[in-house]
Amino acid sequence: MTIAFKPSADGAADSRSAGSVSVSQAIYKNLHEIEAVFRLMDTDGSGFLSLEEVKRACSILNDVVLAEGSAEPKQKLSDEEIEGFVKAMDLDGDGQTSYNEFLEAVRNHTFG
């Protein structure tokens, strides 16, 4: 699936759809944050997330969550869970997660 963002010429589309934010609008609003997260995770700057990069990011997230004491230890992701997560994101099966695949995973996770 491809998502096309059409800039509205006069902002009329925004007021028409007030109260019912579409998925693409919600993603567009958060696109900078999503892209920032992807870049943070892509530590070698290759433009793709390797399994190791996702593991490292999850490990940092685990440490932060556990340090805040807001999570049970059982919520810590295992390597197997992370590998399953990466495989689920890897839509074209090349073993890495592209930004588009990451965006799609965020879309599916956030909006069901």
Q: Which of the 8 DSSP states describes residue 75?
A: G
Q: Per the structure block, which two tokens stand in for 110?
A: 């956030």
SS3 23: helix
Minimum separation from the CB atom of position 101 to Ca ion (A) = 12
Taking the least distance from each CB to Ca ion, the nearer of 44 and 79 is: 44
CA dist 35 and 76 (Å) reads 24
Minimum separation from the CB atom of position 75 to Ca ion (A) = 26
Taking the least distance from each CB to Ca ion, the nearer of 44 and 63 is: 44
Please report, as ranges, the residues that interact with Ca ion according to CB under 5 A.
42, 44, 46, 48
Q: Per the structure block, which two tokens stand in for 79?
A: 């390597």
Helices 51-67 and 23-41 cross at an angle (nearest 10°) of 100
Taking the least distance from each CB to Ca ion, the nearer of 29 and 47 is: 47
Taking the least distance from each CB to Ca ion, the nearer of 14 and 94 is: 94
Minimum separation from the CB atom of position 111 to Ca ion (A) = 26
